[in-house]
Amino acid sequence: MTSIGLNEVEGRKKAKLKIGFFPEFLENMSIDENTRNAYQKLINELKEKATLFPVSIDYMSNAAQVYYILATSEASSNIARYQGVYTGNKLVDENFEGTYWEQCAQYRSKYFGKEVQKRIMIGSYILSAENYIEMYEKSIEIRKALKQSILNSLLEMDMLVLPTSPVTSPKWEDINKMTSAQIYMSDYMTVPFSLAGVPVISVPYAKTKEGLGIGFQFVGSPFKDAQLMEDIKTVIKG
């Protein structure tokens, strides 16, 4: 058994954390200028307490599309059992004499919200015979490659840091004005790590002149949630 001296143990404790950052997000014009400036400021601050390394993840730009293909497909499959005949609430109109599929349509129109209905329709389209291989199975393969790329980066790093969203938090009155595409794409920096199954903690960092929030997410290795929290405390004030 190899013995470790006290000085070596203390040296390990004091070793700087290794943090991976994404240079591409400092130059990407699709990211809000306030967010890019805050990201650069955070990186400069982290350099005082940790060693930073540039990283890049394969298929990062495709993650949102992959996520919503898989999420809507799973939603469509899982919710299929709620048709108001054998499961779920019964229709109020007990004298309805339509076909099984007509009853399903009436039930889902009554009890499912617009977003749920939208996801069922998109998922059903993706899982159809003509689209299954091209869309669903291809997304599964991209997810595997994305996850492996993230895990490879975390093998060399204690954690990764990047913006939580490409834009600042919206004003309350502007939320209902956002299109579905805008809402979905605001997730494109968080969904890669949901697909990979790794722990992530989003930390509020700054505000714009208008008082809109800017946050950054720290990404850790699988099953290292507690360690991620401790590492963040080491480099972030307050």
DSSP characters over 163-202: ES-SSPPPPHHHHTT--HHHHHHTTTTTHHHHHHT--EEE
**Pairing between β-strand 17-21 and β-strand 159-163 as defined by DSSP bridges:** parallel
| 15-73 per-position pLDDT tens digit | 789 999 999 999 887 888 999 999 999 999 999 999 999 999 999 989 989 999 999 99
Q: What confidence category does residue 119 fall into, taking pLDDT thresholds of 50, 70 and 90? A: confident
* Residue 9 pLDDT > 70: no
Residue 17 lies in a domain: yes
Tell me if 137 is assigned to some domain. Answer: no
Report yes or no on 146 lying in a domain.
Answer: no
In a domain, 109, yes or no: yes
Do 170 and 212 fall into the same domain? yes
Q: What is the pLDDT confidence band of residue 93, given thresholds at 50, 70 and 90?
A: low
Range of the domain at 110: 67-126
- pLDDT > 60? residue 81: yes
Q: What is the pLDDT of residue 168?
A: 84
Burial of 214 (0-12, 13-18, 19+ CB in 10 A): buried
As a whole number, the mean pLDDT across the chain is 85
Considering the domain architecture, whether residues 75 and 40 belong to the same structural domain is answered as no
Residue 237, judged by CB atoms within 10 A of its CB (0-12, 13-18, 19+), counts as exposed
* Better-scored residue on pLDDT, 24 or 105: 24
Radius of gyration of the chain (CA): 23
118 against 21, higher pLDDT:
21
Phi, psi at residue 201, to the nearest 5°? -125, 125
What pLDDT digit, counting tens, does each position of 178-202 carry? 777 777 777 889 999 999 999 999 9
Examine the domain organization and report whether 45 and 111 are in the same domain.
no
Q: Are residues 164 and 226 in the same domain?
A: yes
Global pTM? 0.80
**Domain count for the chain:** 2
Q: Are 206 and 227 in contact (CB under 8 A)?
A: no
Residue 138 inside a domain? The answer is no
The pLDDT tens digits of the residues spanning 125-178 come to 899 988 989 999 999 999 999 999 999 999 999 999 999 998 888 877 877 787
Instruction: Residue 66: count other Cβ atoms within 10 Å of its Cβ.
Output: 22
Q: Identify the band that residue 86 occupies on the pLDDT scale cut at 50, 70 and 90.
A: low
pLDDT, tens only, 211-228: 889 999 999 999 999 999
pLDDT at 11 over 60: no
Please indicate, yes or no, whether residues 167 and 219 belong to a single structural domain of this protein. Answer: yes
User: Does the pLDDT value for residue 1 go beyond 50?
Assistant: no
The Cα 208–Cα 42 span in angstroms is 15
